[in-house]
Amino acid sequence: MVIVGLALVTVLTRSFFFISDRRWPLPTWAERGLQYAPVAALAAVVIPEIISVQGELIGTWKDARLFGGLVGLAAFAWRRSVLHTLVAGMAVYLPLRLALGW
């Protein structure tokens, strides 16, 4: 009975916006804020992965992730393309990691 009740509450809350016949407009500030949500989520995942190792900040500048991240950031600023960002960052990261062992 508890599982059925939880399922009903879940279905009701997730379909609440579909039940109504009229449109629910968001305030302008909320729409603008939601435009940045994917970028913020990506940054929240990627940046800690670049600057830390097992929860500790990296202690040296000889880390391939730093250079790959900086080159990827520069490539994005220059071309505004996610594909160019990935290719440029990995083109720097992989040789440093594989050849130099950073």
Spans of the chain below 50 pLDDT: none
Residues 47-56 have pLDDT tens digits of 888 888 888 8
Residues 82-101 have pLDDT tens digits of 899 999 999 999 999 999 88
C-alpha pair distances (Å), 47 with each of 22, 31, 41, 50, 59: 41, 25, 10, 5, 16
Question: In this structure, is residue 4 part of a structural domain?
Answer: no
Q: What is the pTM of this model?
A: 0.62
Question: In this structure, is residue 25 part of a structural domain?
Answer: no
Question: In this structure, is residue 84 part of a structural domain?
Answer: yes
The residue segments making up the domain with residue 74 are 34-102
pLDDT at 72: 92
The domain total for the chain is 1
As a whole number of angstroms, the longest Cα–Cα distance in the chain is 62
Question: In this structure, is residue 16 part of a structural domain?
Answer: no
Question: In this structure, is residue 60 part of a structural domain?
Answer: yes
pLDDT at 71: 95
Question: In this structure, is residue 68 part of a structural domain?
Answer: yes
